[in-house]
Structure formats: C-alpha cells, structure tokens
Amino acid sequence: MGRSSKDKRDIYYRLAKEEGWRARSAFKLLQLDQEFNLFTGVSRAVDLCAAPGSWSQVLSRKLRGDEGAKEVKIVAVDLQAMAPLPGVTQIQGDITKVSTAQEIIRHFEGQAADLVVCDGAPDVTGLHDVDEYIQAQLLLAALNITTHVLKPGGTFVAKIFRGKDVTLLYSQLKIFFSRVTCAKPRSSRNSSIESFVVCQRYSPPACYIPNMSNPLLDHCYDVDFNQLDGSNRFIVPFLACGDLSAFDSDRTYPLQLDADTEYHYTPPPQPPICPSYQQACHLRKNNLLSKEGAAGSTCSQGQNKGLY
C-alpha cells in the first residue's frame, strides 16, 4: 500500500494535511461552529484533551484572527506533550485533577472561560461496552472540570459515544446547561458512534459547588438520575451539521479531485511529540514485544496514566 492510499480512503485526512491542520478532527470543530456559531464573543477558551492540537489550531486561527488578537487567551490541556501553537498556553496534565482546573483559572487571571471544548477519547479496547463506559467517564470528568472554569452562560462542547446508555449522560448535562444538542458533523464517519454534545447557556443548580473529588451526581439536585422515565427523560435534539454538500467522510475519493488540479502528496504538518505508540514501536523494532519487563517508555513523564 502506497503512502497516498490513506489520502484516497480518508478525504478529511488528506484535506487536513493540505490545509495545515494537525489532525482531521479540526473539521469536526469547524463544522460544529458552522452550525452553532461557537466562537462568537469568545475571548477565553479551553481545549481539554487537546493533543496533537488540531482543535487548538482552530481556536487559535478563529479567535485570534490574522492579527493574533492579544486579549484572546487559549489554554490546551493534555496528558501528552504537544508542539507549541501561537497564542495557546499548554498544560501537560490530567483533566481529572483539581490542580489542572486551578492552573487554567490562574492563566485566565481569575476570570472564567467563555468556551470549553473536549475531544477526549480513550484508547479503544474494541470491547464496545467498555469503550462506551470509559468514554462516558471521560466526558463526565470533562464536565466536572468545566464546572470549575466556565462562566455562567458559557458553552461546553464534548465528544460523546451514542451508546445505549447515552440518555443518562444527556440528563446529567441537562442539569448544568439549559440547551443540550447532540450533533454529528459531516467529517465524523457515519460508521462511528461518535457524536458531539453542544451544551449552551451554562446555569448550574444553585446548590452546586464544584468539587473534583466528588462524583457530580453526589450533589443536591431535584432530579432523580436513576429514574429516567417521564419528565426526567430529556429528549436531546440530534442534528447533522456541516454543509451537506461537503465531502462525505465515509466515501473513497479519487486522488485527482477535479480535472484542473493535479494530486501531490502532502506530508503531515506536525508529527506528534512523543506519542503513546512510541514505546510499542520501540519494543517491536528491538524485538522486545514478548519479553517481560522490557524497556520502559522512551518518553519523559505522565503518559497514558489518565482516563483514555
């Protein structure tokens, strides 16, 4: 298989390289913005689970503009290191830690964020129930840290797996936001259960005190989460978003997209810094895969320890 075969199979992968995005997921945020105007009036934004950084790139380009607006502050958090981006402060940390929330607030000089986005994903195991459960926990962790840093009225966008228990997550989100929509951008494959919740108008219950060490549901609410029938069952609208004439992420396109433009292979703009698969590559290359206690990671710190 040649290096261009992925360009053929995955049009958004190819376009991402051509437009200089670090990952194809950039298009998901761009298409969500087309539908929800996420960036209007935003000057403080947080990108949770940000590496390798394509969502941060979108935030940087859209919020700072060509001039690099000085008043805009963007913080990107990930367990993994990420190559620097203009106007983006990086925190290499875990979104489940209160110290990470404190660091974000410090960067905003005590002010709250207008927008929090999270494209966090676990390393999939292939066991669907387990993957869905871990993704749900990561989403709740993202919601938890968001309650520490988001301003009332602010917006939270996060990846969600639309599995069989998704209604419970919707109910939990609905407690904190008066409008919750589930959206599927064109660039997210139909074959994937991935979607995005767009939660608008942050308005936590009056009794809510953000607390990272307590599960969100231990607080005093007037809703019983174990009872999802009747009035407690929130029906969240589902929206396909992005221009419907946009490329179809499930289709294979020819390398030459039209008669006038010749295809040229474009290399990725920014290889990941010390990615989590680096250790596996190292072990395989040195024929160490089956040996117990084989050499440790060649990367520095804190990787693969959090909720994936």
Which residues of this protein are in contact with ligand SAM, per CB under 6 A? 22-23, 25, 49-55, 77-80, 94-96, 119-121, 138, 306-308
The number of beta carbons lying within 10 Å of the beta carbon of residue 6 is 12
What is the chain's percent helix, strand, coil content, to nearest 5? 30, 20, 50
Nearest Cα neighbor of 159 from 184, 189, 126, 129 is: 184
10 is in an annotated binding site: no
> Least separation, in Å, of the C-beta of 68 and ligand SAM?
21
On the question of a cis peptide bond just before residue 84, with omega within 30 degrees of 0, the verdict is no
CA distance linking residue 209 with residue 261, whole number of Å:
57
Task: Answer yes or no: is 243 a known binding residue.
Answer: no
Comparison of 94 and 103: residue with beta carbon closer to ligand SAM: 94
Q: CB-wise, 78 or 114, nearer to ligand SAM? A: 78
Smallest distance, ligand SAM to C-beta of residue 207, A: 27
CB of 53 to ligand SAM, least distance (A): 5
The backbone region for 303, taken as left when phi is positive above 0, alpha when psi lies in -120 to 50, beta otherwise, is beta
Question: According to the annotation, is 53 in a ligand binding site?
Answer: yes
78 belongs to an annotated ligand binding site = yes
* Residue for token pair 């958004």: 12
28 is catalytic: no
The catalytically annotated residue of 6, 159, 174, 291 is: 159
- Cβ-proximal residue to ligand SAM, closest one: 306
Helix (H, G, I), strand (E, B) or coil at 167: helix
In the numeric block, the tokens 């929509």 are attached to 181
If the CB atoms of residues 74 and 171 are measured against ligand SAM, the closer one turns out to be: 74
Task: Show which residues are catalytic.
Answer: 159
Q: Which residues are annotated as a binding site for S-adenosyl-L-methionine?
A: 53, 55, 78, 94, 119
